[in-house]
Copies of this chain bind each other. A is one copy, B any other.
């Protein structure tokens, strides 16, 4: 039996998951999806943990979204049977894809280019396989996806539908531009646009005689802000389970809903320049610049009390190097901030910070209740 441990006994720097907050975030998103009348296919890329994905899918549909084939393999091995790989397919990884297609009920691949369709089809034909394919649509993020206003997009969809080796499972988009929003109201506007683009494109496909099953949209900012998702069949938020300082700054959540933090130890205190050095640097927090469009002086995360996670006013992570975090205080340093004392930091971007760790310490309040091991690599 595990000896009862508390936060004080943890070695630092370490990644902490607040299980109470995590469960609330999971439940709130499940309820939100139900209210909006869409299926929730959570993205597991933020946490990459089987245990966390089970909490996310407890309430309903068990389908998940992954960002890497390493995640797909690990989650398939753990019993997840309905997996969407929401990054355009890499044509040099098709052996992995055929393996996953055989081991699951649904393994959906993303394409946005006729050459990718051709490559996928040739491989599937040679292997006597049939791949389920989603056509990625660019709804304004301009990273990947077909232009829905270009007639070529309809032709690509038709070519998928016409292939005996590919099945058009539907269309998918990611409104990544929502990360430029400054408020929940702005994100709601992006969510409306995301839905409108997808509904209109689905209409054009249907008018061309192409059957469209899934209409999948994503992003934590848009899904947490969306008011009406008529015409959409599923949502794929991922970050919402952890949330982070960025999501709080743009209004996706409150700071007291952030379930992921990094525990750090003070290495040095420099009262004359009101600075502390802690042992959480770029390899523990990531170097994500955070919500600088909302707060140019945000630094590399929000510093909170190690016990109650209450934000410490005026204390900012002003710079980071590989293993050092430099914190600056607007007021004289507290006498309790001495070498050996601890602070907790809510990172700017939980997806990147979590990827710095090979295990998460799962806590309820001050008590350590579990340790989770995320999937790493590709």
Binding site for B on A (CB under 8 A): 11-14, 45, 67-68, 87-93, 112-113, 115-116, 119, 142-144, 176, 265, 267-270, 273, 277, 279, 282-283, 286-289, 319, 321-324, 326, 338-340, 342, 351-352, 355-358, 376-378
Contacts of A279 in B (CB 8 A): 87, 90, 378
CA distance A355 to B270 in the complex (A): 29
A162 CB to closest chain B CB (Å) equals 20
CA distance A119 to B339 in the complex (A): 9
Contacts of A115 in B (CB 8 A): 269, 338-340
Contacts A13-B378, A288-B287, A358-B376 given; does A142 touch B352 at CB 8 Å: no
Top 6 closest pairs, chain A to chain B, by CB:
A91-B340, A88-B267, A116-B339, A287-B287, A90-B265, A67-B323
Contacts of A88 in B (CB 8 A): 267-268, 277, 339
Q: Which of B45, B282, B321, B377 is in CB contact (< 8 Å) with A286? A: B282
Contacts of A11 in B (CB 8 A): 92-93, 378
CA distance A283 to B353 in the complex (A): 10
- With A12-B92, A13-B378 given, can you name 16 additional A-B contacts, CB distance below 8 Å? A87-B324, A90-B267, A92-B342, A113-B339, A116-B339, A143-B324, A144-B277, A144-B324, A282-B286, A282-B288, A282-B352, A286-B286, A287-B352, A289-B289, A322-B351, A357-B377
CA distance A201 to B277 in the complex (A): 23
Main secondary structure on chain A at its contact with chain B?
loop
CA distance A322 to B87 in the complex (A): 10
CA distance A144 to B278 in the complex (A): 10
Contacts of A116 in B (CB 8 A): 267-268, 339
Contacts of A286 in B (CB 8 A): 282, 286-287
Contacts of A358 in B (CB 8 A): 376-377
CA distance A370 to B367 in the complex (A): 44
Contacts of A277 in B (CB 8 A): 88, 143-144
Q: Which of B113, B352, B357 is in CB contact (< 8 Å) with A269? A: B113
Contacts of A91 in B (CB 8 A): 265, 339-340
Closest residue to A119 on the B side, CB-wise? B340
Q: Are A321 and B176 in contact (CB under 8 A)?
A: yes
CA distance A367 to B270 in the complex (A): 51
Contacts of A355 in B (CB 8 A): 283, 356
Q: Are B340 and A92 in contact (CB under 8 A)?
A: yes
Closest residue to A147 on the B side, CB-wise? B272
A134 CB to closest chain B CB (Å) equals 14
CA distance A264 to B198 in the complex (A): 30
Q: Which of B112, B352, B357 is in CB contact (< 8 Å) with A283? A: B352
Contacts of A268 in B (CB 8 A): 88, 112-113, 116, 144
Contacts of A67 in B (CB 8 A): 322-323
Which of A142, A268, A286, A358 has its CB near the most chain B CB atoms (within 10 A)? A268
A88 CB to closest chain B CB (Å) equals 4
Closest residue to A280 on the B side, CB-wise? B378
Contacts A88-B339, A115-B338, A268-B144 given; does A322 touch B45 at CB 8 Å: yes
CA distance A185 to B23 in the complex (A): 56
Q: Which of B289, B326, B357, B377 is in CB contact (< 8 Å) with A287? A: B289
